[in-house]
Amino acid sequence: MSQTINVVFAVLFIMVFIWFALVGWLFHYLRKYHPPTYESIGSPTLFWNNSPRNNWLFLKFLFGSQCQSLNDPRLITVCWFMRVFICVYFVGFILLSVAIIWRPPQYR
């Protein structure tokens, strides 16, 4: 059980860096090809202009229908992938948390 927890933790750890790369790419893409949309979500960056308000606007954009209305097939595909990716991450995180909490104590 402990080895499985370590593997799941490692996978989730790597997924965080993949998420950062995806978000960075999406912000760059929006800034370059869809400036009005980029400005409407607060002109966020990965670290510097990253406020709770901008995070909320970004998630609203990602899970809403706004990315569909831009009629950009590449953007739609990336947004769909990011939705699935973040949902898989959260499910994995919840399962890892439950596994750690419910793990029986190990005595030596």
Q: Where are the domains of the chain?
A: 2-102
Q: For 3-37, what is each residue's pLDDT tens digit?
A: 888 999 999 999 999 999 999 999 999 999 999 99
Q: Hunting for tokens 């769909």 — which residue is that? A: 80
The CB-side HSE value for 18 (13 A sphere, CA atoms) comes to 13
For residue 83, pLDDT over 80 is answered with yes
Q: What is the pLDDT of residues 36-80, one digit of tens each?
A: 999 999 988 888 777 889 899 999 999 998 889 999 999 999 999
CA within 13 Å, CB half, 68: 5
